[in-house]
Amino acid sequence: MAEDSKKPEASLASYSSLLERLAAARAEDPLKSLKINPQVSAKIADAYSALQHSPDDPAVQKAYNALIDETVQQYKDMQKEGLSISKIKEGMANPYPSSKAMIEDVAKNKHLWYYPTEQGFGSSGVDQSKHPMLKVTDLLDDEGKPMLANDVFRAVHDYQGHYKGSNKFGALGEEKAYQQHKKMFSPEAVKALTTETRGQNSWVNYGPYGEANRANPANTTYADQKAGLLPDWASKDVDELANPLKYNAKKAGMAALKFGLPAAALASVSDSQNVEDALSNLIIPGGVESLGNVDEEAEMIGEAKGYRDYQKSPAAAARRAALEKLGK
């Protein structure tokens, strides 16, 4: 009994620490701590290898049309910001041997070079005549010629995905650029964005030529350009794909903190548990968004675990004692 009586105090102390760690995590840029998971990237690369080029598929056309329309608007917004945009000319040396050179050009000169589609579009073999990214837009390049959607996208993605987030051109930088840029698109457009960025970059860095490409980027073998949609899971966060339980627990904990539901974690927190384990208690039917108050939340957790068994458990007793101390 003496040992049991200490549990509420331990829960409260752990919970206080948990809140502090959650608040710090919420305030931090999530892309800062983003890491590549080779297994996840290889899985996405395999999905891209299996992807069929389907430019006539209505679902593909819908997603790509959304991507193109939204990208064109982003390009126009960049022009309004005073950014000067130029295409790299034939025979011209690469003006950006590194991402640092690109970032400095934009920061100091309000200028951005982009690699034009006419000089390279994928590696081989696929008939590209119907590819939606080869559509002509209403924008003009620095020579007064109509820009292809792919040219517009290359410029916009380098600016919004790489420059804005100071993200490099390697495997990790490309993943961060995808996550950075993804926030600016509608869910429909994200489907095509995932194919054009994450899918291709995963194939380049973790596909059949991945090891060679990472070792010698100057001789990169690029992915074929395909108009198609990867499975829905391919657009999820790396952490969610690598460990869905921990990802959902952390996400639920963030929501609990946001909605002022601190009691939600008390049933499972102890000094020996890490944040993800503690937050796993928050995975309940309907999601945290449906919670109205602490009593409803407690009832839903009870339902999720088996209400009668839960009420008799030591965790429930500790939780009730801790709630009393909190005045809930």
**Residue 27 pLDDT grade (very low, low, confident, very high; cuts 50, 70, 90):** low
pLDDT of residue 121: 79
Give alpha helix (H) positions in 6-109: 7-27, 38-50, 58-80, 99-109
Coil vs helix vs strand at 225: coil
Beta bridge partners of 111: 84
Number of compact structural domains in the chain: 2
**Of 1 and 109, the one with more pLDDT:** 109
Rounded-to-integer distance, Cα 280 and Cα 264, Å: 10
Rounded-to-integer distance, Cα 137 and Cα 113, Å: 19
Range 311-319 average pLDDT? 62
Q: Which of 173, 195, 229 is the C-terminal boundary of a domain?
A: 229
20 and 66 in a common domain: no
| Spatial contact of 185 and 178, defined as CB atoms under 8 Å apart | no
273 and 211 in a common domain: no
177 and 247 in a common domain: no
129 and 11 in a common domain: no
pLDDT of residue 128: 79
The per-type count for the chain, helices as H runs and strands as E runs, is 16, 4
Tokens found for residue 136:
């002509």
pLDDT of residue 218: 85
φ, ψ dihedrals at 275, nearest 5°: -60, -45
pTM listed for this prediction: 0.69
**Residue 122 pLDDT grade (very low, low, confident, very high; cuts 50, 70, 90):** low
Rounded-to-integer distance, Cα 43 and Cα 49, Å: 10
103 and 141 in a common domain: yes
pLDDT of residue 238: 81
φ, ψ dihedrals at 147, nearest 5°: -95, 140
187 and 158 in a common domain: yes
Q: Which of 182, 228, 230 is nearest to 41 (CA)?
A: 230
Domain that holds residue 61: 52-229
Rounded-to-integer distance, Cα 157 and Cα 159, Å: 5
Model confidence pLDDT, tens digit, residues 125-181: 667 789 999 999 999 999 999 999 999 999 999 999 999 988 988 899 999 999 999
